[in-house]
Chains A and B, each alone.
Chain A
Amino acid sequence: MTMTTDKDNPDSGLLRRWVQYAIENPRRVYRVLFYVAIVFFMVTTLFPFYWLFVLALTPEGQLLGGGYLPDIELFGLSTTFPLPVPQGFNPEAFIAVFEQLPFHLYMLNSFVLAISTTVIVLVIASLAGYVFGRLEFAGRVPLMLAILAISYFPPAAFVVPLFEAFTGNTPIVIPFTEIPLFTPPRLLNTPGAMVMPFSAIFMPLSIFILTTFYAQIPDGLEDAARVEGTTRFGALFRVIMPLSAPGVATAAVLTFISVYNEYFFSSIMATSPDAANWSPIVGGILSFQTQYTTQYNLMAAASIVAVLPVVILVLIAQERIVSGLTAGALKE
């Protein structure tokens, strides 16, 4: 009995000492928890990406063979390697992606759609943000709420009427009547059929972001610019926008990435997943899957290639955002 008590005491003493230590140094505990959280997020976000690499490098014939978790000998112990490893080494997949399909054209499509949408959104949202953020007028709040409310509509709600309009077969009529207004041009399989709805759908968020940023620019700076020789319009683009660079960058990056990743609208507005029909990246990736075969390795390689530009963009934009914030740009 005495022995066990003696043996227990140091143990409970150890636990108690550890708890005591944690209470006295909460920062250490927070830091540990912080690393736990970071590791968790890294694993959940990076593991799929790693899995894409593994698939992309595995030759097509080995894809369905299994054995991604090999047994290894480690210091005489036989154990299972904790991460999947490629079944072979086939970097040609990254080239085959561009050979089997004009994947670069799909990427170009996505880029053109994303950039043109971003430009349109930034210009219009800047004007709207200026008006909402810097001018007083009756009905400002209801109008802003209406714009935000529209952004909550599911995009699917717009697809059918827009598709019908963009086919250009029947004239647009006044609702509930047969009176025709105009017949739209046929826009299916053109960038117009995608850029227009994208701009409309992603506009409210940018308006909201830019409104809050533009509202913070002191009136004196705009007045100074106007006295110095700009119009209100000139002051917006020469003074207010540059000073709101972090906000503009945020709106631009969010819009760009949203359009770059978009598939729902483009899959419908491009009547077939053809690069010539302005089908975007996702359309291209899915084209590696035919009725009889699914080239998982090519799909994985294509996905990685498609992700890289966005990663680079975010890295650049992040630097811009951080520099914009640290420069104390808003300090007068």
Chain B
Amino acid sequence: MARVKLEHVTKRYDDGESGVVAVDDMNMDINHGEFICLVGPSGCGKSTTMETIAGLTQPSEGEIYIGERDVTDLPPKDRGVAMVFQNIALFPHMDVYDNISFGLRLRDYPQDEIDRRVERAADIVQLEGMLDRMPDEMSGGQRQRVAIARAIVREPDVFLMDEPLANLDAKLRVHMRTELQRLHKKLDTTIIYVTHDQAEAMTMSDRIAVLDTGELQQIDPPLVCYNEPANLFVAGFIGSPSMNFLNGTVDDGGVETEHFYVKFDPAAVDDLAIGDQVTIGVRPENVHPATKTNEIAYPSAPINARTDVLEPMGDEIFAYLLMGEGNTSMAQETASSDQLLMSIDPDSPIQADDNIQVVLDRERMHLFHGESGDALTHNLVASTDIEATDTRVGSD
């Protein structure tokens, strides 16, 4: 059983005066056979986290366990991990066979065992007949497969993959994504996968770990991260295009933003008081034209807006709406801009520069704390029910 556990792992880089904290008090518990994706923007510490697990970087504080062993002070070779690198990192002076068998030869496996394992690994990644090629005679996808074969041939406890598909073209990437999932099913090994591509993270992983500024923001199954983001950062990072954010103030019957008012019961939400500053989050697919109001169980009041730009994607259209004066903001994710992004049907009659009315699906609206950014609720309607329960409990 190869469970991977990080306990209070911190990595500081001391550049003289200004120390940079790359990983800040990271706690993670990864089960055997789990496929975990570490996602986050550049410089969020996901690669550093990976390197500390691999042993290529020594953490400043904290412990790392693989299986039941404390591996914090072990060199990479003794940790039972195999790694696939972003730049593939095949040894250019060795042919495919030597590359794949490198780790086995170092561990003095008998020759027939090496041959058998290389054969099998090459079979899994479909590299038969290419064992005597040199890396520079191969295409990007083939090299990637050699790198994966090099990792699986050692039958490690844990696979570490650091953006292994980043250097491949789009088509090959999608193909390799499927291959990796198939491989994971076949090998039943713990996989820790670093990516900045959320499509990869959403499709492949059992759980996603979202990192920002070296801190773990949320670690949950993909749909939980999507539907119930723990905070503003996760909400903005997961989902493409990004969630709409609007700043507002809570009063006794709902939340007032610059351009509209949404009803809900603030008393139903924990840690929320009247007068608090909050950020409303609503995904583009939960913004609907007012004509569809009766299809939504709990719509908000209609909001006046003007369509600005339409982006037809084929299966849907992204409509950028402007509210009020319609000042466009260059920064897409700036809260309380006058902009609202809506996803509509491709056969919708809405045109650019139309004045329309839209409604928001209150069951799928998120509230975030105005200062900390922590999620307060993910459903403005359900909270009313909870509130009702709460009052009952309170009145009893």
- Chain A residues with CB under 8 Å of chain B are 218, 220-221, 223-231, 234, 239, 242-243, 245, 327-332
From B86, B87, B92, B106, give the contact of A228 (CB < 8 A).
B106
Binary CB contact string for chain B from 83 to 109 against chain A (1 if under 8 A, 0 otherwise): 101111111110000000011001100
When the two chains form their complex, are residues B56 and A226 in contact, meaning their CB atoms are under 8 A apart? Answer: yes
How far in angstroms is the closest Cβ of chain B from A323? 11
12 further interface pairs, Cβ-Cβ under 8 Å (given A226-B77, A228-B154, A331-B92): A220-B85, A220-B86, A220-B89, A223-B56, A223-B83, A224-B85, A227-B54, A230-B77, A230-B106, A231-B75, A243-B92, A329-B93
Is B306's beta carbon under 8 Å from chain A? no
When the two chains form their complex, are residues B56 and A228 in contact, meaning their CB atoms are under 8 A apart? Answer: no
Tally chain B residues at the interface, Cβ within 8 Å: 27
When the two chains form their complex, are residues B107 and A229 in contact, meaning their CB atoms are under 8 A apart? Answer: yes
From B77, B86, B136, give the contact of A229 (CB < 8 A).
B77
Chain A residues within 8 Å of B56, by CB: 223, 226-227
Q: Which 9 pairs, one residue from A and one from B, show the smallest C-beta to C-beta distance?
A: A220-B89, A228-B103, A229-B106, A224-B89, A229-B77, A227-B83, A226-B76, A220-B87, A229-B103
**Complex Cα distance A228/B76, Å?**
8
Is B81's beta carbon under 8 Å from chain A? yes
**Complex Cα distance A221/B92, Å?**
9
Chain A residues within 8 Å of B88, by CB: 220, 332
How far in angstroms is the closest Cβ of chain A from B145? 15
How far in angstroms is the closest Cβ of chain A from B276? 47
Chain A residues within 8 Å of B76, by CB: 223, 226-227
Question: CB-nearest residue of chain A relative to B83?
Answer: A227
Is B341's beta carbon under 8 Å from chain A? no
25 of the cross-chain contacts (CB-CB < 8 Å) are A220-B85, A220-B87, A221-B89, A223-B56, A223-B76, A224-B83, A224-B150, A225-B102, A226-B76, A227-B55, A227-B56, A227-B77, A227-B81, A227-B82, A228-B150, A228-B154, A229-B77, A229-B106, A229-B107, A231-B75, A243-B91, A327-B92, A328-B136, A329-B92, A332-B92
Chain B residues within 8 Å of A224, by CB: 83, 85, 89-91, 150
Question: CB-nearest residue of chain B relative to A242?
Answer: B93
Chain A residues within 8 Å of B106, by CB: 228-230, 234
**Complex Cα distance A245/B102, Å?**
19
Chain A residues within 8 Å of B86, by CB: 220
How far in angstroms is the closest Cβ of chain B from A62? 56
From A220, A226, A231, A243, give the contact of B93 (CB < 8 A).
A243
From B75, B136, B160, give the contact of A226 (CB < 8 A).
B75
Question: CB-nearest residue of chain A relative to B81?
Answer: A227
Chain A residues within 8 Å of B102, by CB: 225, 228-229
**Complex Cα distance A221/B160, Å?**
15
How far in angstroms is the closest Cβ of chain B from A232? 8
Chain B residues within 8 Å of A332, by CB: 87-90, 92
When the two chains form their complex, are residues B77 and A221 in contact, meaning their CB atoms are under 8 A apart? Answer: no
How far in angstroms is the closest Cβ of chain A from B350? 49
Question: CB-nearest residue of chain B relative to A330?
Answer: B92
Question: CB-nearest residue of chain A relative to B156?
Answer: A227
When the two chains form their complex, are residues B107 and A223 in contact, meaning their CB atoms are under 8 A apart? Answer: no
Chain A residues within 8 Å of B160, by CB: 227
Chain A residues within 8 Å of B91, by CB: 221, 224-225, 239, 243
How far in angstroms is the closest Cβ of chain B from A162? 40
**Complex Cα distance A224/B99, Å?**
10
Chain A residues within 8 Å of B136, by CB: 327-328, 331
Question: CB-nearest residue of chain B relative to A332?
Answer: B87
Within 8 A of A (CB), among B231-263: none
Chain A residues within 8 Å of B77, by CB: 226-231
How far in angstroms is the closest Cβ of chain B from A231? 6
When the two chains form their complex, are residues B89 and A223 in contact, meaning their CB atoms are under 8 A apart? Answer: yes
Chain A residues within 8 Å of B92, by CB: 221, 243, 327-332
Chain A residues within 8 Å of B90, by CB: 224, 332
Chain B residues within 8 Å of A226, by CB: 55-56, 75-77
How far in angstroms is the closest Cβ of chain A from B330? 36
Question: CB-nearest residue of chain A relative to B91?
Answer: A239
Chain B residues within 8 Å of A329, by CB: 92-93
In this complex, the member of B54, B83, B150, B160 whose beta carbon has the largest number of chain A beta carbons within 10 angstroms is: B83
**Complex Cα distance A227/B160, Å?**
10
How far in angstroms is the closest Cβ of chain A from B186? 22
**Complex Cα distance A70/B208, Å?**
92
Binary CB contact string for chain B from 47 to 81 against chain A (1 if under 8 A, 0 otherwise): 00001001110000000000000000001110001
**Complex Cα distance A328/B93, Å?**
9
Chain B residues within 8 Å of A234, by CB: 106
**Complex Cα distance A224/B82, Å?**
9
Question: CB-nearest residue of chain A relative to B77?
Answer: A229
**Complex Cα distance A269/B307, Å?**
92
Chain A residues within 8 Å of B107, by CB: 229
**Complex Cα distance A225/B89, Å?**
9
How far in angstroms is the closest Cβ of chain B from A137? 12
**Complex Cα distance A220/B47, Å?**
12
Question: CB-nearest residue of chain A relative to B106?
Answer: A229
Chain B residues within 8 Å of A221, by CB: 89, 91-92
**Complex Cα distance A230/B92, Å?**
17
How far in angstroms is the closest Cβ of chain B from A57? 47
**Complex Cα distance A229/B87, Å?**
19
Question: CB-nearest residue of chain B relative to A221?
Answer: B89
**Complex Cα distance A220/B86, Å?**
8
How far in angstroms is the closest Cβ of chain A from B8? 24
How far in angstroms is the closest Cβ of chain A from B338? 46
Chain A residues within 8 Å of B54, by CB: 223, 227
Chain A residues within 8 Å of B150, by CB: 224, 228
How far in angstroms is the closest Cβ of chain B from A242? 5
Chain B residues within 8 Å of A331, by CB: 92, 136
**Complex Cα distance A239/B90, Å?**
10
How far in angstroms is the closest Cβ of chain A from B275? 52
How far in angstroms is the closest Cβ of chain A from B55? 8
Chain B residues within 8 Å of A245, by CB: 93
Question: CB-nearest residue of chain B relative to A245?
Answer: B93
**Complex Cα distance A329/B81, Å?**
27
Chain B residues within 8 Å of A228, by CB: 77, 82, 102-103, 106, 150, 154
How far in angstroms is the closest Cβ of chain B from A262? 33
How far in angstroms is the closest Cβ of chain A from B254? 54
How far in angstroms is the closest Cβ of chain B from A172? 39
How far in angstroms is the closest Cβ of chain B from A245? 8
